Structure 1
Amino acid sequence: MEILLEELYKTDIYVDKFHFRKVFLDSLSYQINGIAQSGKTKIVKNYLLGLKKNSYLYINCRDLRIETDALNSVLQNFCTQNQIATLVLDNYIDDIKIVNVPQLILCSETHHDIEFLKSIRVYPLDYEEFLAYEHKYDSSALNHFLQLGGFAFMHKVNSDERVYHLQKALKETLNEKELEILIFCTKMMTQKISPYSIYERLKQTQKISKDKLYDSFEKLSQKGYIHQVQKVNHSKATRKIYLCDISLKSALTIEKHFGRLFENMIYLELLKSGRDCFYDDGVDFYIPDESEVILATPFADERALFKKIEAIESFIIRYQVKKITAVTMSKEGSVNHPFSRIEMVPFDIWALGD
């Protein structure tokens, strides 16, 4: 194992056309969590390139040459002898022992309870980050975002291969049961659905354990492949399901529903900006901290929006909502209302507004 570590220590790290993300690393120790292909490895490697070559060691724990017990027996001594200042354990697993180095960086899909590590969550690209990959920013950028989603690697894949490329990436990182559940959630995106409902649906076509399904569903949530939004002030109510990226819709199902896709896209922008949101009947997203309701209305006009506002007027009064933002594809304007300020804002302006 010392021979492998020596090889990894001498290997040059390469990063192709790095685009800066909204994640910054300094001299602290970190654990960086996020789904596969979210950009964790590239962020870390770009950070390492700013350090002295002989000061760091990068190890991909999925390297088939690694024997965990052998690695555990020699890693600390190797780092001490070579004065390793920064150790990166990519695709980290719990079986690998933590060693004492000035800076430790772990990358994995799930969170590990290691107190001295600062936690960072990396998501697929938000809309602002996506624009860095565009040759020019014009009216076609939003349509391109709808086609590609937030996985940066999709920019390098030919259009006829994107679906298969994403399917392959999911098969490599998820087990069979997790993938089946994710496919089902893709068909039900933005809808209210519980793990029990998923179990009831899937057991009609296959033999499946309820405990196994619940465990797989929880793992998908912990890793960040699916997200759940709670009903406001109803913690036990069925939650709404959202996907980690809108590109999964076309990769895992042939069903088309632009309104749901658009709503999921809005949710991801809220998630990545750290804004806590809830849903209610007729209310797509309610942000208590900002006393704001956000509605996904891609093609609504003023008349349709006013009718939608009338249907949730009791909610507006009960929660004293000060602002209502109707996110659209291109429509811009305002609607008069006695209780709240109502604005129609195109997605590209809204996503970049904060």
Structure 2
Amino acid sequence: MKNLEACYEINFSKINFIERKVKIENPKTIISGAPKTGKSYLIYDFLSNFKAKDYLYVDFSDLRNDLNDISKNLQEFIKKNEISVLILENFDFSFLLPQCENIIISTTSKQNIEGFEQINLNALDFEEYLLHDNKHQNITQSFNSFLKFGNLPEIINLEEHKKIQRLQEIIKLICKDETQYEIIKIMIENIDEKKSLFQLFNSLKTKIKLSKDKFYEICKILENNKIIFFLSKYNQEKTSKKIFCYNYSFLNAISYTKKFKNEFSNMIFLELLNKNDEIFYLDNIDFYIKSKNIAIVSIPFFNTSLNNNLVKKIIKNASELNINEINIITISNSEKINDPKIKINVIPFYEWAIS
């Protein structure tokens, strides 16, 4: 029981927690989400409601913890110490859960267990980022940092010269081997692109030894773990999907090639992901929210005269689906475009994201 005794001494009472838009409210909860999105801090917040003697915190990613020792003695230890809260971080569900009043589990991939509430935690949206950012003095500075270095909580207050290095470390942390790294890398390089998995596989197999089955298997894991997202075209499921990543700044961390529009579109996608169940894309329209009948278009540097032909195409495609509102998201431009049938807004990202 040496492992469990050591875990029982862990105390989180002095950790500062900044509110997220989701929190643990059910005594039996499974939190899933990509690495470094803040799952542990949701747990620390929950534990602040209890005394240290009432909880047992076990992290299975801690190399000092022995799975066999813990699984063998866990129920007895809980009973002996009258523990009312059990935390299982990075749990792989390799043994049956013990009896305990409160059980909170963190994991990378979603798991369904009867009686447990599911929380899927994404990285920070822009509104949450502003709450976490105590370094910048105005919303413009915060937005610039959000765009450049991404949405992971731990990156915000790092010294700037360490941020890219830490993003690279997190990418490597996600990968179990070199093959998985190359697959994640090609996905990140193609964010906001319409590419089929077959196209990506054909491109990658010229660089590394890789079977088609292995490639598809890893892509499925990345999708299940909410690291990579595949966005379908509306009513055309078999058409190539758009690729997005849970942190758009990874592109800046793996390549000197600048794809500003792609990163900006990925950033918009993640904001939409937190607020909508179903998102699609259309011709000339980046995102279509069918339930709200809204089209979202990413044009970082919008200019009415330069983008006039594109706006006409967007309006035409939106009209075919009877879309009643188009939001064109920009870096800083703001204006209204008059149209007799459709409400069209040109909005800076930082206004749109917190509205």
Q: Give the structure-1-normalised TM-score.
A: 0.95
Unaligned 5+ runs, structure 2: none
Query: Moved runs in structure 1, 4+ residues, more than 6 A?
Result: none
What secondary structure sits across from 1:232 in the alignment? coil
Paired residues of 2:249 and 2:263 also in contact (CA < 8 A): no
TM-aligned CA deviation for residue 27 of structure 1: 4.2
Specify the alignment match of 1:153 in structure 2: 154
Q: Distance in 1 between matches of 2:315 and 2:301?
A: 21
Specify the alignment match of 1:167 in structure 2: 168
Q: Distance in 2 between matches of 1:169 and 1:151?
A: 10
TM-aligned CA deviation for residue 107 of structure 1: 0.2
1:246 equivalenced with 2:248 (yes/no): yes
Specify the alignment match of 1:331 in structure 2: 333
Deviations 1:93-147 (A, max 9, x none): 1213211111111101111231221110111111001101233333222112112
Paired residues of 1:322 and 1:339 also in contact (CA < 8 A): yes
Write the letter of the residue equivalent to 2:35.
A
Distance 1:71 1:17, change over 3 A: closer
Q: Distance in 1 between matches of 2:157 and 2:208?
A: 37
TM-aligned CA deviation for residue 270 of structure 1: 0.2
Distance 1:279 1:42, change over 3 A: same
What secondary structure sits across from 1:254 in the alignment? coil
Deviations 1:264-287 (A, max 9, x none): 110010012234211011110111
TM-aligned CA deviation for residue 148 of structure 1: 2.0
Specify the alignment match of 1:49 in structure 2: 48
Specify the alignment match of 1:266 in structure 2: 268
Identity of aligned residues (%): 27
Specify the alignment match of 1:292 in structure 2: 294
C-alpha root-mean-square deviation of aligned residues, in Å?
1.5
Q: Give the structure-2-normalised TM-score.
A: 0.95
Write the letter of the residue equivalent to 1:289.
S
Matches within 5 A, 1:300-315: 300-315=302-317
TM-aligned CA deviation for residue 317 of structure 1: 2.2
Return 58-67 or 87-96, whichever deviates more. Answer: 58-67
Q: Distance in 1 between matches of 2:345 and 2:141?
A: 23
Paired residues of 2:34 and 2:225 also in contact (CA < 8 A): yes
1:108 equivalenced with 2:107 (yes/no): yes
Write the letter of the residue equivalent to 1:64.
L
Specify the alignment match of 1:19 in structure 2: 18
Write the letter of the residue equivalent to 1:84.
I
Matches within 5 A, 1:1-354: 2-13=1-12, 16-135=15-134, 136-176=137-177, 177-353=179-355
Paired residues of 1:15 and 1:46 also in contact (CA < 8 A): no
What secondary structure sits across from 2:341 in the alignment? coil
What secondary structure sits across from 1:303 in the alignment? coil
Q: Distance in 2 between matches of 1:14 and 1:246?
A: 33
Write the letter of the residue equivalent to 2:96.
K
Paired residues of 2:17 and 2:44 also in contact (CA < 8 A): no
Unaligned 5+ runs, structure 1: none
Q: Distance in 2 between matches of 1:352 and 1:313?
A: 25
Q: Distance in 1 between matches of 2:10 and 2:297?
A: 50
TM-aligned CA deviation for residue 15 of structure 1: 5.4
What secondary structure sits across from 1:11 in the alignment? coil
Deviations 1:62-96 (A, max 9, x none): 22233323222110111122221111100111213
Q: Distance in 1 between matches of 2:290 and 2:227?
A: 25
Paired residues of 1:15 and 1:45 also in contact (CA < 8 A): no
Paired residues of 1:86 and 1:103 also in contact (CA < 8 A): yes
Paired residues of 2:26 and 2:117 also in contact (CA < 8 A): no
